[in-house]
Amino acid sequence: MDNDAASTHLHPYPWHAEQWQRLCNLRHSETLPHAYLLKGAQGGGKFRFACAFAGYMLCPTPQGDAACGQCKSCQLYRSGNHPDIKVLQPEEKSKVVKVDQVRQVIDFASKTAQQGGYRIIIINPAEAMNSNAANALLKSLEEPGENTLILLVTARQNSMLATINSRCQQLAFPLPDRTETLDWLSGLSKAGREDLELILTLADGQPLTALQYANDQILKERARLIEEIGSITKGQNSPVDIAQRWKDQNTTELLGWVSGWLVDIAKIQQAGSSAVLNNPDLAAMAGYIAGKSTPQALFALQRWVNEQRALSQGSANLNKQLMLEDLLVRWLHLTLG
C-alpha cells in the first residue's frame, strides 16, 4: 500500500460484522459491484473495514469469510506492500487528493493484477478529491477494468460530487451503540468507566476518537484548557496569552469542545439546573456564563464556531493564532453581557 497510515488489520471492528457479511454474500454470489461508497460518521472504523475487505478479496485461500492470514497475499497485505491494493489519501500537508494521484490509480486499474486476482483501490476520504480528481475518477467508475473494486470512504457524503455518489453502491456505517462502545473501550483502556463515559461523550460517540482520547489522557488536557479559558473570564490572562498557549492544539477538536460547552450553556439558559449536560463536570462554569450572557449572543458565537470548524476541516489554511484570539475575545464578551 502507498500510505503509511493504511490499516494492516485483516478483520474489521466487531461492530461492522453486518456490513462485512453483506459484502461477503455479494462476493459469494459473484454480484459484487465494482464501486462501493462506505459512508458514516468519522471515527467509526470504515477505513479499516475497507482495507480488511481488500485483504480478504485478495487472499486466494480464505477461511470462511475471512482472509487466511498465512498465504503470500496475506503476508504482503500485512506488510502494507500488497501490489494489488492502492490507497489514495491526501499527500502530506495537503488536504486534497489530486488529479495526478487519481490518474496513477486509473493506470494501475487498467493493468493485470500482479497476483492474478483483483485490483483494489481505496480512496480515503473520498470527499478530499478535488473536482478535477473526481472527474478523472468518473470514467473509471463508468468503465471499470475487469476484477477491479473501488472503495470510497467518506464521513461527508454531501461534500462529494453527485455524479460520483450516483455511480457507487452505498453501504452505511452507523456508530455502534454506547454500551457496546464502552465495553470495547474498557477492554483497551485503563481509564475507569466513569471517565470513559465522559470521554465517549466528548468524542461524539465515535469509538476510535474515544480510544485516542483515552490514550492521550485527554481529560487532563481538557481540564487545562478549561482552567485557561476560565482565567480569561476572571481577568487573570488575556485572550492573546491563551491563544499563544493553545496554538499547538488540534483546531477542529478544540472548536468541537468549545461548541459542546456552548451547547451546555444554552441548555442551562433554557432548562436551568435541571438541564442534562454533555459536560456535567462543567456545570458551575456553564451556569456562570449562562447567567451573564444572552441566548442571542450564545447563538451568534455558536454559529461562528461552527463556521470556523467547517473551515478548519476544509482545504483553506487558517491563521490559527488570529482565529484563536478572535475566539477567546468572543468568549470573554459572552460574560460582559
* Closest C-alpha among 68, 64, 65, 38 to residue 51: 38
By the rule CB under 5 A, 74 interacts with Zn ion = yes
Q: Which is nearer to Zn ion, 74 or 203 (CB)?
A: 74
Q: Which is nearer to Zn ion, 60 or 291 (CB)?
A: 60
Alpha helices, DSSP H, located in the chain: 17-28, 46-58, 72-78, 99-109, 131-142, 162-167, 178-188, 193-202, 207-215, 218-233, 239-245, 251-271, 283-292, 295-313, 320-334
Q: Identify which of residues 10 and 171 has a Cβ nearer to Zn ion in the complex.
A: 10
CB of 79 to Zn ion, least distance (A): 13
Site for Zn ion in 190-219 (CB under 5 A): none
SS3 content of the chain, % helix, strand, coil (to 5): 60, 10, 35
Could you tell me the smallest distance in angstroms from the CB atom of residue 150 to Zn ion?
Answer: 22
- Min dist CB 83 to Zn ion, Å, is 15
Among 60-68, 231-239, 264-272, 275-283, which window interacts with Zn ion (CB under 5 A)? Answer: 60-68
Crossing angle for the helix pair 207-215 and 218-233, nearest 10 degrees?
Answer: 80
71 scored as a contact of Zn ion (CB under 5 A)? yes
**Is the sign of the CA dihedral 112, 115, 118, 124 positive or negative?**
negative
Q: Which amino acid is at 298?
A: L
Omega prior to 62 cis, within 30 of 0 = no
Span interacting with Zn ion, options 3-11, 69-77, 156-164, 296-304, rule CB under 5 A? 69-77
- The CA-based dihedral angle spanning residues 280, 284, 286, 292, taken in that order and rounded to the nearest 10 degrees: 160
CB nearer Zn ion, residue 56 or residue 246: 56
Interface size with Zn ion, residues (CB under 5 A) = 5
Q: Out of 50, 51, 59, 289, which residue is the one contacting Zn ion (CB under 5 A)?
A: 59
In the range 250-269, which residues lie near Zn ion by CB under 5 A?
A: none
Nearer to Zn ion, 1 or 97 (CB): 1
The residue within the footprint of Zn ion, chosen from 68, 138, 208, 283 (CB under 5 A), is 68
The binding site for Zn ion (CB under 5 A) comprises 59, 67-68, 71, 74
